[in-house]
Amino acid sequence: MGAIKSAPAAVLNEPVGSIRGGTSLVLSHIGKSFAAGAGVFLAVEDVSLTVSPGEFVAIVGASGCGKSTILRMIAGLETPDRGDIRAGGTPVAGTGLDRGLVFQEPRLMPWLTVEQNIALALQNVPWTAAQRSAVIEEHIELVGLNGFAQAFPRQLSGGMAQRVAIARGLVARPEILLLDEPFGALDALTKVRLQTELQRIWQAEAITMLLVTHDVEEAVFLADRVVVMSPRPGRITAIESVDLPRPRDRAAADFVTLKSSILAALGET
C-alpha cells in the first residue's frame, strides 16, 4: 500500500479491489477558539489523541463539547489554532482524499442518481472509467443498496440515503473515515440496523474509523476505544477501552456496565 498524500491531487497507488488498512491519526495538543460577541469561545482545549491504524474510535460528549469541531479539523474543513494533526505521519493541511467524511445529513446532490453521487468522489482520482464503475458497484454492494444505482435521493429513505453517503465516503479508498453523528437523524430501528452495517463495513474495509456521536450505546457497540469529552471548554475527560469481542451483544452484562460507566463519566461535567 502506498502512502497517500493529503493534497487534493492525491495519487493512489493500489490496484482497485485490494484490501486496505488505515493509517494512524495523531492529534497533539489541539486547540480551537471561535469569536463570540465581544469575547472568544474556547471550543477545544488541549486535546491529544493517538489512533492506531485500522482502529475504530468513538468520541462521545454532550453538545458543545467540541467533538464535531475536532472531526472537522481532522477532515481539514477547519484549522486548529494550536497544535498539530498528523494522518499517517503527514501533517493535515486542508481536505484530502485520504480522509473521507460522512455528515449527519446525507448531503446527496438531489439532481444526481445514487451512482452519480458516489462517482462524484472519484472526480480527482486517476482511474479509468472501467475501474471507476467497478469500484462504485463494489461499494453500492458493500452498503447493501443493490438495485438502487439509478435511484434519485428523493426516492430513498433516510437510512438508504445515509448508506449512499457512506459509500461516497469510502469509494475513493481513504485511509481514514470520519463520521459526524451519521445516524443522529434516523429513527431507532434504522439506527440499530445501520450500526450493524457500519461494523460489517469496517471489518470488511479494515480502515481507521473515527465516529462522533452522542449515543453512548452506539459508541460502545462499534468502537475499540471510546473517548469521553466534556464541554466548556471542550476537552477529553476519559478514554475507555472496549475489550468486548465482536459481534457485541447490547444486552450483555459487561456491555451494560461499560455503557453505564461511560454515561457516568459524561455526567461528571
Partner 1 sequence: MSGAAGHAIHAPRATSGGIVPRRVPRFVQPAWRNLLVGLLVPCALLTVWAAAGALDRLPALILPAPGAVLIALRDIIQSGDLGSALAISFLRLAEGFGLGALAGLAVGATMGLSRLGERIIRPTLMGFVQIPVLAWVPLLMIPFGIGETLKCISIGIAAFAPVAMNSFKGLRQVDPKLMEVGTLYRFSAAQRLRHILLPGALPSIFTGLRLGLTQAWQSLVVVELVASTNGIGYLAVMARQMFQLDQMLAVMLVIGVCGFALDKSLRSAEARLGRRFGGVAR
Partner 2 sequence: MTAASRVNPLTGLILPVGLVAIWQIAAGTGAIDPTIWASPAAVLQQTRAALADGSLLADLAASLERDLAGLCLGIPVGLAAGTLLALSNLADRLFNPSLTAIRQVALFSWVPLISLWLGSDDTAKIAFVSYAVFFPVMLNTYQAVHGADQKLVEVGRMLCLSRIQMLRRIILPAALPGIATGVHLALIYGWLATIGAEYLFSAGPGIGSALMTGRAQFRMDMVIVGMAAIAVVGMTLNVAAGYGERRLLRSRGGAGA
- Please name the residues in contact with 109: beta carbons below 8 A apart, sequence gap of 6 or more: 116, 117, 120, 153
Shorter beta-carbon distance to partner 2: residue 40 or 77:
77
Q: Which of 96, 100, 147, 148 is nearest to 124 (CA)?
A: 96
Which is closer to partner 1, CB of 101 or CB of 167? 101
97 binding partner 2? (CB under 8 A): yes
Exactly one of 12, 27, 43, 210 binds partner 1 (CB under 8 A); that residue is 43
Q: What are phi and psi of 249, to 5 degrees?
A: -100, 115
- Contact (Cβ atoms closer than 8 angstroms) between residue 234 and residue 200: no
Helix (H) or strand (E) holding 178: strand 176-180
Q: Is 101 in the site for partner 2 (CB under 8 A)?
A: yes
Q: Where does this chain touch partner 1 (CB under 8 A) — which range of 118-126, 181-189, 192-200, 250-258?
A: 250-258
The whole-angstrom separation of Cα 139 and Cα 66 is 31
Report, in Å, the least distance between residue 242 CB and partner 1: 8
Residue with cell 475536532: 70
48 near partner 1 (CB under 8 A): no
**Least distance between partner 2 and beta carbon 241 (Å):** 30
- Footprint (CB under 8 A) of partner 2, residues 126-155: 152-155
Q: State the cell numbers at 110.
A: 438531489
State the nearest-atom distance from the C-beta of 83 to partner 2, in Å.
22
In whole angstroms, what is the distance from residue 254 CA to residue 249 CA?
A: 9
> Interacting stretch for partner 2, rule CB under 8 A, among 41-49, 102-110, 197-205, 216-224?
102-110
243 forms part of the interface with partner 1 (CB under 8 A): yes
Among 107, 200, 214, 232, binds partner 2 (CB under 8 A): 107
176-180 and 99-102: which strand pairing? Answer: parallel
Residues 6 or more apart whose CB falls under 8 angstroms from that of 43 comprise 32, 33, 34, 66, 69, 233, 234
Q: Binding residue for partner 2 (CB under 8 A) from 85, 143, 172, 227?
A: 172
Say if residues 224 and 55 touch (Cβ distance below 8 Å).
Answer: yes
List of residues contacting partner 2 (CB under 8 A) = 8-10, 75-77, 95-97, 100-101, 103, 105-113, 120-121, 123-124, 152-156, 158, 161, 168, 172
Residues near partner 1 (CB under 8 A) are 34-37, 39, 41-43, 64, 228, 230-233, 235-238, 240-244, 253-254, 257-258, 261, 264-265, 268-269
